[in-house]
Amino acid sequence: FVPRKEYLDAEAFAGIIKAYQKGAFHVFISMNLSASLKHVIQAHQLVEGHPPAGKIILSFEK
């Protein structure tokens, strides 16, 4: 996969998935919070201020 201006989203997504599966990059997760209003506010404040080294995940329970 070589990025180019006219790529399709599906093609780009497939390229990213293949690279991830090969271990070409890692997604670091710093926090996994339930998607309550309290945690949504907390996550927003963290991203606005000094973001943690990693992604903040908000999980919705079924």
Residue burial 5-31, b: 16+ Cβ < 10 Å; e: rest? eeeeeeeeeeeeeeeeeeeeeeeeeee
Q: What is the DSSP letter of 56?
A: E
Phi, psi of 28 (to 5 degrees): -90, 130
Q: Does pLDDT of 59 surpass 80?
A: yes
Cα separation, 41 vs 35, whole angstroms:
10
pLDDT in the model for residue 19: 92
Q: Does pLDDT of 43 surpass 90?
A: yes
61 confidence band (pLDDT: 50, 70, 90): confident
What is the token pair recorded at 10? 């599906």
Phi, psi of 31 (to 5 degrees): -145, 145
